[in-house]
């Protein structure tokens, strides 16, 4: 069999050259595409840094964006090489739907975590009540928030549960009000009791002078008059003021010799 240069040239021009151009085009697209992906990821992370978002969220968002763009780039490269990508894209879409349904709870927690970090209803170190749990925020994670409860027990709550429920932030404002009450026995001079309590409460350490403590009549009961005692303190001193104010109330009652409230009943005997 003789070698035919014309036939070889025709084979090369028909198959090899177009394939080589496709490979070069795909390679060029991959190199340029990866460069563009890195630019997009770097830009997104700079935006997240300027917004002072959690570093964990910055890294996670960067990896998610990079992964998605790389998949799209790979599909484009396969298309340049002549590979049919319609079925491949449909398979990816179906897989994405299936994974999304299976991970709907995790995705909901992730989305809620993004909103918590962005909207900042609380921060690390704040004392809050959220998702039915009270404690100090230790960490705001991608899927859950970690609290240290008052008894030093660690609690991890799903971000979606927190975001979909009421959030009470005890540390957001500069000071808090301490709510206590005193039940006076019948016959105790209410005005004198209020004056004594006000003077004692003002002597309690870390009680704020402004706003001034509130000591007023709360209600009247069959046992006697109930006074409300409401001093104000900074967040850090709340429990110290709470307990010391209770001690001050007890000392005032002892010094003034207030009788203990008691139930009184009048019994009347009717002669037959």
Q: Are residues 50 and 67 located together in one domain of the fold?
A: yes
Same domain, 137 and 209: no
Distance CA 144, CA 21 (A): 50
Closest among 52, 81, 211, 214 to 140, alpha carbons compared:
52
Q: Is residue 132 part of a domain?
A: yes
On whether residue 180 sits in a domain, the answer given is: yes
Note whether residue 115 is domain-resident: no
CATH of residue 57:
1.10.287.1260
Does the pLDDT value for residue 148 go beyond 90? Answer: yes
Let me know whether 185 and 235 are in one domain. Answer: yes
Question: Position of tokens 């028909």?
Answer: 14
Tell me which range, 1-15, 28-42, 43-57, 170-184, is most confidently predicted by mean pLDDT: 170-184
Instruction: Give me the half-sphere count of Cα atoms (radius 13 Å) on the Cβ side of residue 183.
Output: 8
The tokens for 43 are 């830009």
Q: Looking at residue 114, what is its pLDDT?
A: 81
Task: List, for residues 154-194, the tens digit of each pLDDT value.
Answer: 999 999 999 888 999 999 999 999 999 999 998 899 999 99
Quote the mean pLDDT of the chain.
82
Shared domain for 82 and 29, answered yes or no, is: yes
Q: Please choose, from the candidates 134, 162, 131, 136, the residue with its C-alpha nearest in 3D space to the C-alpha of residue 148.
A: 136
The verdict on residue 271 lying in a domain is no
In this prediction, residue 117 carries a pLDDT of 80
Res 12 pLDDT > 60: no
Residue finishing a domain among 128, 149, 169:
169
The reported pTM is 0.60
The region of weakest confidence among 51-65, 183-197, 225-239 is 51-65
Domain limits for position 164: 120-169
Whether residue 201 lies inside any domain: the answer is yes
Out of 102, 131, 156, a domain closes at 102
Lookup: tokens for 254: 């002892």
| DSSP result, 69-132 | HHHHHHHHHHHHTT---HHHHHHHHHHHHHHHHHTHHHHHHHHHHHHHHHH-SS-TT-EEEETT
Beta bridge partners of residue 155, listed in sequence order: 147
Q: CA-to-CA distance for 156 and 146, rounded, in angstroms?
A: 4
Residue 34 lies in a domain: yes
Q: Residue 20 CB: number of other CB atoms within 10 A? A: 11
Same domain, 221 and 193: yes
> Residues 12, 74: one domain?
yes
Number of domains in the chain: 3
pLDDT in tens, 97-144: 655 655 566 778 878 888 888 888 998 889 999 989 999 998 887 788
pLDDT of residue 142: 74
Q: What is the mean pLDDT of residues 205-229?
A: 93
Give residue 241's pLDDT.
Answer: 96
Instruction: Give CA–CA dist 193/200, Å, rounded.
Output: 11
Question: Which residue from 129, 120, 53, 127 is spatially nearest to 137, judged by alpha carbons?
Answer: 127
162 shares its domain with 221: no
* pLDDT value of position 84: 65
pLDDT score, position 266? 64
In this predicted structure, the answer to whether residue 87 has a pLDDT above a threshold of 90 is no
237: Cα separation from own chain's centroid: 24
15 and 85 assigned to the same domain: yes
Whether residue 156 contacts residue 139, with contact meaning beta carbons closer than 8 Å, is answered with: no
pLDDT higher than 70, residue 11: no
* Domain end marker among 44, 70, 102: 102
The tokens for 158 are 């799903």
Least Cα distance to 182 among 218, 208, 212 occurs for 218
Same domain, residue pair 192 and 227: yes
pLDDT at 85 over 80: no
Beta carbons within 10 angstroms of residue 145's beta carbon: 28
220 by Cβ neighbours in 10 Å (0-12 / 13-18 / 19+) ranks as: exposed
Q: Are residues 208 and 235 in the same domain?
A: yes
Closest CA to 177 of 249, 243, 234: 234
In a domain, 97, yes or no: yes
Question: What is the C-alpha end-to-end distance of the chain, expressed in Å?
Answer: 146
CATH of the domain at 156: 2.30.30.60
Whole-number pLDDT of residue 13:
64
**Could you read off the pLDDT of 15-39 as tens digits, one per residue?**
666 767 777 877 888 888 888 888 8
Residue 151 lies in a domain: yes
Identify whether residues 146 and 212 lie together within a single domain. no
- The CATH number of the domain holding residue 221 is 3.30.70.100
Would you place residue 262 in the very low, low, confident or very high pLDDT band (cuts 50, 70, 90)?
Answer: confident
Q: What is the distance between the alpha carbons of residues 116 and 40, in angstroms, rounded to a whole number?
A: 24
Q: How many C-alpha atoms does 64 have within 13 Å on its Cβ side?
A: 11
CB-based contacts of 129, cutoff 8 Å, min separation 6 = 166, 167, 168, 170
- One domain for residues 224 and 158: no
């Amino acid at each position: 069999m003789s070698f035919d240069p014309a036939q070889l040239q025709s084979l090369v021009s028909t198959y090899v050259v177009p394939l080589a151009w496709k490979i070069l085009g795909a390679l060029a697209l991959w190199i340029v595409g990866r460069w563009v992906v890195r630019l997009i990821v770097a830009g997104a992370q700079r935006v997240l840094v300027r917004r002072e978002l959690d570093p964990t969220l910055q890294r996670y968002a960067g990896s998610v964006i990079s992964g998605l763009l790389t998949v799209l780039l790979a599909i484009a490269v396969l298309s340049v090489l002549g590979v049919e990508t319609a079925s491949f894209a449909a398979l990816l879409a179906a897989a994405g739907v299936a994974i999304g349904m299976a991970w709907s709870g995790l995705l909901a927690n992730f989305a809620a975590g993004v909103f918590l970090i962005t909207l900042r209803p609380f921060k690390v170190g704040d004392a809050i009540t959220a998702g039915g749990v009270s404690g100090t925020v230790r960490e705001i994670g991608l899927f859950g928030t970690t609290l240290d409860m008052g008894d030093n027990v660690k609690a991890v709550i799903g971000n979606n549960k927190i975001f979909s429920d009421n959030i009470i932030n005890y540390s957001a404002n500069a000071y808090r009000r301490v709510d206590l009450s005193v039940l006076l026995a019948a016959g105790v001079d209410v005005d004198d009791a209020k004056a004594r309590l006000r003077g004692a409460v003002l002597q309690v350490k870390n009680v704020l002078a402004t706003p001034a403590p509130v000591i007023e009549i709360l209600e009247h009961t069959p046992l006697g008059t109930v006074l409300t005692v409401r001093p104000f303190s900074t967040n850090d001193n709340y429990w110290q003021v709470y307990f010391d104010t209770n001690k001050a109330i007890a000392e005032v009652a002892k010094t003034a010799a207030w009788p203990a409230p008691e139930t009184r009943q009048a019994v009347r005997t009717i002669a037959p």
